[in-house]
Chain A
């Protein structure tokens, strides 16, 4: 890696392969373990079905219940803003859509760049707000671990380097793009081994909750 272009090609070549392999092995290992271990057998007679309430809960838990919203409105609103912003930037930015198309052959329409740019700026501001909140809120401050700060840093740097690369604020450009790709690779690598796994396990947990409540015949 003697120069900026070699750095970019390393992040697009061998490093991408390594990151993707660690991500796929780690994620599938964790998911396989979760599914194969399953839950303890429940010998009580079911009062209703599991599937429908389980699936319904996967979606309904997306909206916080009124109580949660009143207790932690900042968490709900800012959490929503940056999660949606992150997803829009990840899935609907033209270069990202092209990457997914190039890797998996699946394509979908993307948003115009200025729209993604605005969304990314809002996401960055929201992420900074979450950090300030975490550092100043007396309860959050005490329950935060090193992992929380690590995950925040990686997610923030992925978005920030993407924003810098898009606006070409770092020269030469291959360094800017390479940094963004490298940060995304670090995110992929730590994803299966940190709380970032919630990207996938959230939906499994919701299904288990909904199914358990459904079996008991109560609302979830």
Chain B
């Protein structure tokens, strides 16, 4: 892959070169505005900004990941406008997508960093073995993931952590976390970090974040977990089309019972929708075709921290994670032993008092008085 500087063409020019009509472009801008809860008056602003925007240089780092996030973003369905936006941003370095290999690939990353110092975006997918972990757990060209990340973000404008592994540690960080996996925001403290969580995340969310950055020149409003509020502001449960069944107390109790066939609420089958914040219920997947709950499966809560360690996927949200009836019985038995010991002590004390009792006669009392 030839080393290139930030291209001179604007985003609008590049889109037109790819055969995108003005109508198609404005439709995208309108969809983005509505998706990010911006007023319709912002559509022309977004269009003008995108049209004139220089394509940002993007370095995409893949660490401990499964490439599912890249798959989701680039192959969701063919060919999408999101895909197009992704393809025509100046993606200077991406393991999976770049043609270059070896020294040339690493050289491309370093060159892009040099040429766009302070302006490039870093997208990270996958978790990173922390600074205290064995650096050999995950390396690229003999360099540890941690070193590459810290070196690359040093002069970045911002970092976007794509997928739950990069955002929260994800599967690699699941108990017992053998590689000491950490999230990007655990390690990068001096740069803005945006988390686009999900396993994988919704493709439109990342293009939404990029669009916002290109339009307003700053990053979107974030929630407490650094996720863009426009997409992660509401829970799955609050936007779920099965919510009326929850409110009426109608639940599927197995995957093939009458309730499941009638599309009732999946809470009892382990749905984590009430505690999961994501946009699946409104944006759906595969070009708006469907989403997990619509296809009859409970939400796993994949866009939340520690979702692998949050109890069984098929256990309802209210079921405790580690407590068992055996442990409760054991604690009860221990309590009974304690109670028994207390009884023995009390009886012994009573006996001692009775044995040493010194009766007082009326005469003695009168003497004392």
Contact = CB atoms under 8 A, between A and B. Distances in A.
A152 interface: no
A12 B316 contact: no
B321 A173 contact: no
A95 B267 CA distance: 8
Nearest to A98: B316
A20 interface: yes
Contacts of B329: 24
Given A12-B321, A17-B327, A103-B323, A3 B336 contact: no
Contact of B249 (A21, A29, A112): A112
Interface stretch (B136-144, B302-310, B357-365): B302-310
Interface in B292-341: 304-306, 309-311, 315-325, 327-329, 331-340
A121 interface: no
A143 interface: no
Given A114-B248, A177-B275, A29 B342 contact: yes
A9 B328 contact: no
B257 interface: no
A36 B344 CA distance: 9
B246 interface: yes
A187 to B, nearest CB: 15
A170 interface: no
Interface in B225-266: 225, 235, 237-238, 246-251
A150 to B, nearest CB: 22
Interface residues of B, number: 51
A17 B323 contact: yes
Contacts of A147: none
A200 to B, nearest CB: 12
A103 B325 contact: yes
B224 interface: yes
B96 interface: no
Contacts of B320: 12-13, 16-17, 99, 102-103
A26 B336 CA distance: 9
B343 interface: yes
Contacts of B306: 5-6, 9
B346 interface: yes
B54 to A, nearest CB: 36
Nearest to B312: A102
A186 B309 CA distance: 24
Nearest to A19: B323
B268 interface: yes
B274 A29 contact: no
B277 interface: yes
Nearest to B317: A95
Contact of A14 (B248, B304, B322, B324): B322
The A interface, classified by DSSP as helix, strand, loop or mixed, is helix
A32 B336 contact: yes
Given A29-B339, A98-B268, A24 B331 contact: yes
Given A9-B309, A112-B248, A172-B277, A33 B339 contact: yes
A20 B331 contact: yes
A9 B321 contact: yes
Contacts of B224: 3-4, 172
A66 interface: no
A25 B331 contact: yes
A14 B309 CA distance: 12
A61 interface: no
Nearest to A110: B249
A90 B71 CA distance: 46
B169 to A, nearest CB: 12
A103 B331 CA distance: 14
Interface string A79-117: 000000000000000111011001111000011111100
Contacts of A105: 325
B339 A103 contact: no
Nearest to B316: A98
A95 B318 contact: yes
Contact of A96 (B225, B318, B331, B333): B318
A31 interface: yes
A70 to B, nearest CB: 40
9 contacts: A6-B305, A28-B335, A28-B336, A32-B342, A33-B339, A98-B268, A103-B320, A103-B328, A114-B249
The 5 closest A-B pairs by CB, nearest first: A32-B339, A28-B335, A112-B249, A102-B319, A95-B318
Given A17-B327, A32-B338, 20 more contacts: A3-B224, A5-B275, A5-B306, A12-B320, A13-B322, A27-B335, A28-B331, A28-B336, A28-B338, A36-B340, A95-B316, A98-B268, A98-B316, A98-B319, A99-B316, A102-B320, A103-B323, A111-B249, A168-B274, A173-B274
